[in-house]
């Protein structure tokens, strides 16, 4: 059966992270407030580094993206597909996929929620703006 979807925004293009509810929750937590100033500054700088450099660039069935590993942003490449409201990304150098619930998409914004390996949707959104 052929299903035609009208007015559904395409995910193709470059999306830069501009907000993370997980980061916000950590930075406003009691645990963070109890850390010394140097630890707070280091964590805030790490989060800013991630926000400044985190992106997804979707092209046809290929995605170029960044991830944070060993205190550095690394550029990666993989394949992606969308199943209903779930974005699935498979890295070329790994035999695993990462799933995200697309909680919002329009011409300017993309909101994703991480789906853990057991299938639970985490309640924190990563928010991206189209570049």
Q: Provide the residue-wise pLDDT of the chain in tens; the chain has 131 residues.
A: 444 445 668 999 999 999 999 999 999 999 999 999 999 999 999 999 999 999 999 999 999 999 988 889 999 999 999 999 999 999 988 888 999 999 999 999 999 999 999 999 999 999 999 99
How far is 109 from 103, CA to CA, in rounded Å?
10
Question: The tokens 């929750």 sit on which residue?
Answer: 25
Domain containing 105 equals 13-130
CATH of the domain at 37: 2.40.128.280
Number of C-beta neighbours around residue 29 at 10 A = 11
Number of helices (H), then strands (E), belonging to the chain: the values are 3, 8
Please answer whether residues 80 and 59 qualify as being in contact, where contact means their C-beta atoms are separated by less than 8 angstroms: no
Number of structural domains found in the chain:
1
Distance CA 13, CA 48 (A): 23
- Could you tell me if residue 80 is inside a domain? yes
Nearest to 80, CA basis, from 55, 95, 59, 109: 59
In a domain, 81, yes or no: yes
| pTM score, whole prediction | 0.87
Phi, psi at residue 48, to the nearest 5°? -65, -40
Return the number of other C-beta atoms located less than 10 Å from residue 110's C-beta: 25
Task: Supply the pLDDT for residue 3.
Answer: 46
Query: Which among 98, 71, 100 has a CA at the least distance from the CA of 85?
Result: 100
> For position 8, what pLDDT does the model report?
67
What pLDDT is stored for residue 36 in this prediction? 95
What pLDDT is recorded for position 9?
A: 81
């Amino acid at each position: 059966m052929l299903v035609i979807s009208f007015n559904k925004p395409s995910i193709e293009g470059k999306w830069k992270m501009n907000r993370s509810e997980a980061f916000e929750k950590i930075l406003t937590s009691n645990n963070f407030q109890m850390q010394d100033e140097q630890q707070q500054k280091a964590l805030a700088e790490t989060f800013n580094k991630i926000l400044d450099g985190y992106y997804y660039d979707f092209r046809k069935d290929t995605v170029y993206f960044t991830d944070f590993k060993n205190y550095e942003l690394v550029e990666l490449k993989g394949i992606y597909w969308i199943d209903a409201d779930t974005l699935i990304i498979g890295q070329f150098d790994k035999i695993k996929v990462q799933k995200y619930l697309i909680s919002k998409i329009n011409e300017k914004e993309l909101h994703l929620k991480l789906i853990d390996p057991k299938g639970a949707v985490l309640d924190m959104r990563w928010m991206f703006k189209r570049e």
